[in-house]
Structure 1
Amino acid sequence: MKRRNMLKAAAAGIAAAPLAMTATTAEAATVRLRMQTYWGTESDEIHDEFIDDIKTSSSKTLRVKRFRGSELVPNADMMQAVGKGTIDMCQGYSGYWPGQLDIASIEAGLPGAWTDYDEAQYVMESKGLIDLIREAYAEKGIHYLGPIMGGPFDLLTTKPVKSLEDLKTMKIRATPSIAKVLEKFDIPTVYLPGGELYLGLSTGTIDGVIYAGTNEYKALKLFESAKYYTFLNMVNPGYTDDMLINKAKWDGMSPEHQRIIEMAYAKHARKMHTWMVSGSIEAGTEGLFEYNSLSEEDSQRLRTAARVIWEEEAAKSERNAKAIKILEAAAKATGRA
Structure 2
Amino acid sequence: MKLSTLIKGTLTTSIAASLIASQLAYADNIRLRMHTFYGTEVDSIAADLRDRLQEASDGSIRLQFFRGGELVDSDQFVDAVARGTIDIAHGVGSYWPGRVGIGTIEGGLPGAWVSADEARDIFANQGLDELIAEAYEEQGVKLIGRGFGSDYGLLTREPVTSLDDLRSMRIRATSSIATVLEQFDVPTVFLPGQELYVALSTGVIDGAVYGGPVEYEQLKLHEVAKHYTDINLLNPGWTENALINPRTWERMSEEQQTILTEALDQYLLDVHQWLEEGNRAVIEAGELFEVAELPEEDSRRLAEAALPIWEAEAEKSERNARAVEILINNAIEQGRISE
Check whether TM > 0.5: yes
Task: Give SS of 2:284's match.
Answer: coil
What are the equivalent positions in structure 2 for 1:1-337 lying under 5 Å apart? 29-286=28-285, 287-337=287-337
- Does the CA-based 8 Å contact 1:151-1:237 persist in structure 2? yes
Task: Give SS of 1:179's match.
Answer: helix
Distance 2:27 2:57 in 1: 14
For residue 327 of structure 1, what is the amino acid of its counterpart?
L
Distance 2:224 2:233 in 1: 25
Quote how far apart the aligned CAs of 1:248 are. Answer: 2.1
Distance 2:109 2:145 in 1: 17
When residues 72 and 28 of structure 1 are mapped into structure 2, their CA distance, relative to the original with a 3 A threshold, is: farther
Distance 1:312 1:51 in 2: 41
Distance 1:172 1:268 in 2: 30
- Does the CA-based 8 Å contact 2:25-2:255 persist in structure 1? no
For residue 275 of structure 1, what is the amino acid of its counterpart?
W
TM-score, normalised by the number of residues in structure 2 = 0.90
Question: Which residue number corresponds to residue 9 of structure 1?
Answer: none
Residues 174-196 of structure 1, C-alpha deviation per residue, up to 9 Å, x if partnerless?
12232122111111111221111
Quote how far apart the aligned CAs of 1:120 are. Answer: 0.5
Residues 129-156 of structure 1, C-alpha deviation per residue, up to 9 Å, x if partnerless?
1111111111111110122100101100
When residues 321 and 27 of structure 1 are mapped into structure 2, their CA distance, relative to the original with a 3 A threshold, is: closer
Quote how far apart the aligned CAs of 1:27 are. Answer: 9.8
For residue 207 of structure 1, what is the amino acid of its counterpart?
D
- Does the CA-based 8 Å contact 1:91-1:244 persist in structure 2? yes
- Does the CA-based 8 Å contact 1:130-1:146 persist in structure 2? no
For residue 307 of structure 1, what is the amino acid of its counterpart?
L
Task: Give SS of 1:281's match.
Answer: helix
Residues 21-61 of structure 1, C-alpha deviation per residue, up to 9 Å, x if partnerless?
xxxx9997211111111111111111111121111111110
Distance 1:332 1:322 in 2: 15
TM-score, normalised by the number of residues in structure 1 = 0.90
- Number of equivalent positions: 313
- Does the CA-based 8 Å contact 2:170-2:189 persist in structure 1? yes
Distance 2:234 2:257 in 1: 32
Distance 1:298 1:99 in 2: 30
For residue 285 of structure 1, what is the amino acid of its counterpart?
E
Q: Once superposed, which parts of structure 1, at least 4 consecutive aligned residues long, lie more than 2 Å away? A: 25-28
Distance 2:217 2:318 in 1: 41
Task: Give SS of 2:336's match.
Answer: coil
26-35 vs 201-210, greater mean Cα deviation: 26-35
Distance 1:336 1:27 in 2: 50
Distance 2:326 2:335 in 1: 14
- Does the CA-based 8 Å contact 2:26-2:253 persist in structure 1? no
Task: Give SS of 2:31's match.
Answer: strand
For residue 321 of structure 2, what is the amino acid of its counterpart?
A
